[in-house]
């Protein structure tokens, strides 16, 4: 070693066999094709910094989400939360542990990653694997955690929330299965954060996020390595195993190819779409738009719905494209559109995939173990489960509840009404996977999106579904509305009550606050949404969002089943108008919040 002559820092050239230890030459993850060690090993010191706890670092539906300014302007705010996350990794496991780090490219991500590197090193974590330039979609992080058997991952994203200096930022912890930390762990993180007095950090440690390869350090005489990997390759490799790429290539670039338009909304999925759909499957380069990740998502909400993906909707209406899709900031959500902008409701999307599951080679290998949806998601999937004699699970909102079922071999395919679809190939919802699933169905059935959807409704009946979002309502007003609703709903006289709007009358069968007992570990999650279920099965659901960063977002969900083939092509907003009216009356939403119209209707 030549370290002795160079105080503080010593040079470690990997081409020089006399100074290389076997563990350093082995490519730790096997992930990157180009993994070369950057031949300098630096010695850095860890120090302990005194801090004061914050009381508001409770992870929500999917991680801790706050305004960027909250992370930036409050002293040690990000440091505290990162320290709280790392605190849940057992101290004796840290030296051998690998943690995956990646994010959706939003403003403040790179700063946060440098902090994670410094704090992970300061707490004795042995290895980090980070996407090049910090970029890694949420499903790709899940994929990489599983592939390299990491102890977990930290994802820097606020998903579909806007970014930029005045936008949102978020930090989420995923566990060794690749899935979002379950409530038991997020509660622990929160508890640590509430009493945190200090954190451990290597303030002088800096990594070059742009350079693929391994960067080695010595922290208080213990090795610490950071490996920067290609953000796309491991994920692409996984998709090649799941789908029939030859059939997809034929569909997208063969003699009778269809035309697609994919909108990455300047989120993280752009490089994935470019490499997989354009370069590999042969779709023309201009079929994918907004593919360069931007810190502020070009000033838009990176949220794939009819309101925020208006450009895609407009482009599809022109009739030039057969299939369209948009993704959210971190690449786990998807919206599917057919020719002329035909909208596939996400609750229907998962049901269609379930009914056509044989179009996807992965499921032929693994079999279909069970289906699941979040509680507010429409019952469309239930109809398929019943017809195919498959088990169906109804979980609370948020992907973390699916993981246990998947790990226990009870669940293969699941979805949420909020544009989330996925399977047990990983433990996150997966936007590009959902798009390739749909394209596989198109390739197999050789029908349009609209015809596939209409056939489905003919066969299974249709669950009309809509969601109204009231964003940034004043918290007190939202709570007042919920209190009011509870008073009415929990009155024993409410059951059997007939509620009418125009010609329509519905009789209350059940009214409750949804609670879930995990069938695997028996953990109980209460207060997951107020439900009014009518005797005909129609449902009105109210819940407060757990992903917002300011005020409260009220979500109202309506689900109503129709079997009559003559009625199934009607406009959902027309079909559901009486139930919406009843929901607004019962909740006195307008009176309580002053809101006369929702921010977004899906
Ligand atoms: C929302 C959706 C939920 C989804 C969650 C995370 O949560 O309703 O279905 O799992 O976002 O998605 P909430 O609590 O705001 O309703 V993502 O793509 O923002 O990570
Ligand atoms: Co997301």
Q: Is 497 exposed, middle or buried (0-12, 13-18, 19+ CB in 10 A)?
A: middle
Q: Which pLDDT belongs to residue 18?
A: 32
Containing 314, the helix (H) or strand (E) segment is helix 310-317
Which of 58, 62, 168, 557 is the pocket-test mutation for ligand 1 (most atoms within 8 Å of CB)? Answer: 62
Query: For residue 1, what pLDDT is reported?
Result: 33
Between 168 and 13, the more confident residue is: 168
**538 and 422 in a common domain:** no
For position 28, what pLDDT does the model report? 45
DSSP letter at 571 equals -
Residue 377 is part of which domain span? 235-460
* Paired sense of beta strands 222-229 and 152-156, if any: unpaired
**Does the Cβ of 469 fall within 6 Å of ligand 1?**
no
Q: Whose CA is nearest to atom 16 of ligand 1?
A: 545
- pLDDT bin (cut points 50, 70, 90) of residue 540 is very high
Answer yes or no: do 279 and 427 share one domain: yes
Round to whole Å and give the CA distance between 160 and 63. 13
CATH of the domain at 302: 3.40.120.10
Instruction: Kindly give the number of the ligand 1 atom that is closest to the alpha carbon of 417.
Output: 9
Q: Is the CB of 463 under 6 A from ligand 1?
A: no
Residue 62: pLDDT band with limits 50, 70, 90: confident
Assess whether 278 and 415 both reside in one domain: yes
At residue 248, φ and ψ (nearest 5 deg) are -70, -35
Q: pTM higher than 0.75, yes or no?
A: yes
Say if residue 265 is in the same domain as residue 227.
Answer: no
For residue 98, is it within any domain?
Answer: yes
223 inside domain: yes
| Residue 546: CATH number of its domain | 3.30.310.50
Contacts of 483 (CB under 8 A, 6+ apart): none
Identify any residues that bridge with 288 across adjacent strands, giving them in sequence order: 262
> Do 165 and 357 form a contact (C-beta atoms < 8 A)?
no
Are residue 170 and residue 272 in the same domain, yes or no?
no
Mutate to test the pocket of ligand 1, among 63, 268, 398, 470 (most ligand atoms within 8 A of CB): 398
Range 346-360 average pLDDT: 97
Query: Does residue 18 fall inside a structural domain?
Result: no
35: pLDDT strictly greater than 70: no
Measured from the CB, is residue 305 less than 6 Å from ligand 1?
no
The dihedral sign for the CA sequence 441, 447, 449, 452: negative
- Render 249-267 in DSSP notation, one character per residue: HHHHHSTT---EEEE-TTS
Question: Which candidate in 159, 231, 378, 525 is catalytic?
Answer: 159
- Please tell me whether residues 499 and 425 are part of one structural domain: no
In DSSP terms, 414 is beta-bridged to: 372, 422
Mean pLDDT confidence for 84-109: 96
**Ligand 1 atom 10 nearest Cα:** 398
- Ligand nearest the Cα atom of residue 180: 1
Q: Which of 199, 231, 263 is where one domain is finished?
A: 231
CA distance 200 to 40: 24
Span from the CA of 431 to the centroid of ligand 2 (angstroms): 9
Instruction: Quickly state the pLDDT bin for 547 (edges 50, 70, 90).
Output: confident
- Pair 185, 264 in one domain: no
Within a domain: residue 1? no
Q: Kindly state if the Cβ of 395 falls inside 6 Å of ligand 1.
A: no
> Do 60 and 204 reside in the same domain of the chain?
yes
The answer to whether residues 225 and 126 touch, using CB atoms and an 8 Å cutoff, is yes
430, 467: one domain: no
CB 404 within 8 A of CB 182: yes
- Rounded to an integer, the average pLDDT of 565-579 is 93
Residue 333 alpha carbon, nearest atom of ligand 1: 18
Average pLDDT, the chain: 91
Tens digit of pLDDT for each residue in 170-198?
A: 999 999 999 999 889 999 999 999 999 99
Residue 4 lies in a domain: no
Quick check: 4 pLDDT over 80? Answer: no
DSSP H or E stretch at residue 181:
none
pLDDT at 17 over 90: no
How many whole angstroms separate alpha carbon 559 and alpha carbon 117? 45
Is residue 60 located within the same domain as residue 167?
yes
Does 260 map to a domain? Answer: yes
Rg, C-alpha atoms of the chain? 25
* Shared-domain flag, residues 413 and 291: yes
> Is 502 in the same domain as 424?
no
- Give distance in angstroms: CA of 39 to centre of ligand 2: 37
Q: What is the pLDDT of residue 327?
A: 98
> Pick from 416, 445, 460: which residue ends a domain?
460
Ligand 1 binding pocket includes 61 (Cβ within 6 Å):
yes
Q: Is 430 in the pocket of ligand 1 (CB under 6 A)?
A: no
Neighbouring residues of the ion ligand 2, judged by CB less than 5 Å: 159, 328, 330, 332-333
pLDDT over threshold 80, residue 579? yes
Please choose from 61, 102, 428, 465 the residue to mutate so as to test ligand 1's pocket, defined by most ligand atoms within 8 A of CB.
Answer: 61
**Mean pLDDT computed over 403-410:** 95
Residue 159 a catalytic site member? yes
User: Do 356 and 326 touch, CB atoms closer than 8 A?
Assistant: no
> pLDDT band for position 592 (50/70/90)?
confident
How many Å apart are CA 598 and CA 346, to the nearest integer? 19
Q: Which ligand is nearest to the CA of 556?
A: 1
Rounded percentage of the chain residues whose pLDDT exceeds 90: 86
Is 185 a domain residue?
A: yes
Would you say residue 36 lies in a domain? no
How many independent structural domains does the chain possess? 3
pLDDT for residue 386: 96
Which of residues 214, 231, 248 is at a domain's end?
231
Which residue has a Cα nearest atom 4 of ligand 1? 398
Average of pLDDT values for 499-518?
94
């Amino acid at each position: 070693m030549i370290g002795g002559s160079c105080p503080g820092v010593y040079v470690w050239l990997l081409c020089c066999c006399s100074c290389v230890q076997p563990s350093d030459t082995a490519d730790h993850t096997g992930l990157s094709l180009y993994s070369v060690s950057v031949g300098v090993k630096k010695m850095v010191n860890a120090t302990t910094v005194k801090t004061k706890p914050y009381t508001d670092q409770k992870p929500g539906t999917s991680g801790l989400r706050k305004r960027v300014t909250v992370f930036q302007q409050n002293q040690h705010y990000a440091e505290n939360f990162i320290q709280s996350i790392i605190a849940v990794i057992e101290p004796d496991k840290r030296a051998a542990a690998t943690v995956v780090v990646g994010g959706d490219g939003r403003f403040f991500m790179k700063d946060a990653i440098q902090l994670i590197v410094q704090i992970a090193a300061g707490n004795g974590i042995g290895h980090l694997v980070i996407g090049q330039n910090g970029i890694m979609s949420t499903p790709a992080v899940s994929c990489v955690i599983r592939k390299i058997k990491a102890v977990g991952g930290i994802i820097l994203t606020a998903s579909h929330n806007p970014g930029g200096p005045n936008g949102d930022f978020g930090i989420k912890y995923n566990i060794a299965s690749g899935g979002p930390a379950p409530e038991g762990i997020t509660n622990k993180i929160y508890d640590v954060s509430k009493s945190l007095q200090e954190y451990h950090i290597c303030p002088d440690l800096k990594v070059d996020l742009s350079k693929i390869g391994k960067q080695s350090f010595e922290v208080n005489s213990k090795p610490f390595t950071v490996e920067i990997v290609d953000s796309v390759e491991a994920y692409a490799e996984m998709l090649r195993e799941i789908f029939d790429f030859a059939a997809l290539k034929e569909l997208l670039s063969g003699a009778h190819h269809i035309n697609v338009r994919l909108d990455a909304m300047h989120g993280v999925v752009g490089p994935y779409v470019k490499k997989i759909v354009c370069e590999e499957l042969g779709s023309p380069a201009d079929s994918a738009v907004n593919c360069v990740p931007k810190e502020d998502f070009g000033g838009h909400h990176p949220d794939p719905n009819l309101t925020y993906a208006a450009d895609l909707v407009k482009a599809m209406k022109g009739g030039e494209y057969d299939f369209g899709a948009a993704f959210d900031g971190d690449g786990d959500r998807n919206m599917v559109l057919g020719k002329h902008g035909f909208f596939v409701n996400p609750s229907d999307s998962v049901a269609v995939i379930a009914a056509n599951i044989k179009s996807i080679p992965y499921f032929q290998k693994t079999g279909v173990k069970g289906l699941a949806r979040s509680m507010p998601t429409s019952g469309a999937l239930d109809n398929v489960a019943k017809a195919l004699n498959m088990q169906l699970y109804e979980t609370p909102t948020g992907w973390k509840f699916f993981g246990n079922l998947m790990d226990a071999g009870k669940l293969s395919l699941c979805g949420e009404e909020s544009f989330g679809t996925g399977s047990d190939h990983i433990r996150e919802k997966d936007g590009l996977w959902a798009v390739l699933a749909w394209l596989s169905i198109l390739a197999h059935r050789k029908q349009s999106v609209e015809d596939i959807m209409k056939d489905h409704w003919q066969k299974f009946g249709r669950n009309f579904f809509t969601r109204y979002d009231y964003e940034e309502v004043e918290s007190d007003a939202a709570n007042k509305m919920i209190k009011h609703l509870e008073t009415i709903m929990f009155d024993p006289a409410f059951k059997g009550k007939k509620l009418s709007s125009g010609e329509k009358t519905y009789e209350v069968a059940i009214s409750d606050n949804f609670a879930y007992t995990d069938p695997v570990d028996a953990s109980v999650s209460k207060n997951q949404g107020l439900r009014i279920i009518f005797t005909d099965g129609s449902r009105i659901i109210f819940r407060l969002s757990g992903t917002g960063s300011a005020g409260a977002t009220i979500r109202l969900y309506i689900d109503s089943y129709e079997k009559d083939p003559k009625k199934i092509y009607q406009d959902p907003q027309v079909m559901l108008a009486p139930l919406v009216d009843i929901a607004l009356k019962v909740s006195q939403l307008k009176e309580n919040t002053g809101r006369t119209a929702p921010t977004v209707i899906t």
